[in-house]
A and B are shown apart, each in its own frame.
Chain A
Amino acid sequence: MKASGFVHGDPPALDRAGRAFLVLAASDCELARKAVRHWVSDAAELGRDAAALYDPTPDRAAEAVAALRAGSRILVAGPAAEAMAYTAAARQAGALPCELTTYVTSTATLTVFCPHCETTQRADARPGDRIPCAGCGISLEIRPHLSSHHGTYLGAVA
Chain B
Amino acid sequence: MTVTSDLSYLPWPFLEGENRFRYGVNVEPARRRVDTFAGGWGEHIVDLGPDYVEMMALRREILERDPHRVRYLPHMTPASWDLLMFYFREMAASYPDLMTLDRLGSGYRWRNEPLGIDCTFVPGDPETLPEHPLVFVACQIPDDVLLVTERDGHLYFDAAVVTSSADWSVKFDIGMSMHEIHRPVPGLTRDGVTDRAEQFLRRLTADQPYRRVNWTFSAVGSRRRDTSLETMPEWMDDIPRLRAEKDWGRIQLRIELEHLIRLPTTGAIVFNIRTYMAPLAEIAAYPQWAYQLADIVEELPREIAQYKGIDEYRMEAMAWLRERAA
Contacts and interface: CB of A to CB of B under 8 A. Distances in A.
A156 B229 contact: yes
Contacts of A113: 171-172
Contact of A115 (B153, B169, B176): B169
A118 B179 contact: no
A144 B184 contact: yes
B68 interface: yes
B254 to A, nearest CB: 19
Contacts of A3: 177, 179-180, 183
A143 interface: yes
Contact of B233 (A145, A154, A157): A157
Interface in B283-298: none
A4 interface: yes
Contacts of B169: 115, 154
A146 B151 CA distance: 19
B94 to A, nearest CB: 35
Interface of chain A, helix or strand or loop or mixed? mixed
A156 B230 CA distance: 8
Interface in B158-183: 169, 171-177, 179-180, 183
B229 A147 contact: no
A149 B176 contact: yes
Contact of A148 (B180, B228, B236): B180
Given A1-B154, A96-B151, A116 B230 contact: yes
- The 9 tightest CB contacts between A and B, nearest first, are A149-B175, A115-B169, A115-B229, A96-B152, A3-B179, A115-B230, A157-B233, A154-B172, A157-B232
Interface of A: 1, 3-4, 91-92, 96-98, 113, 115-116, 118, 138, 143-150, 152, 154, 156-157
Given A97-B154, A116-B229, A145-B172, 8 more contacts: A1-B153, A113-B171, A115-B230, A144-B184, A147-B180, A148-B180, A149-B175, A157-B233
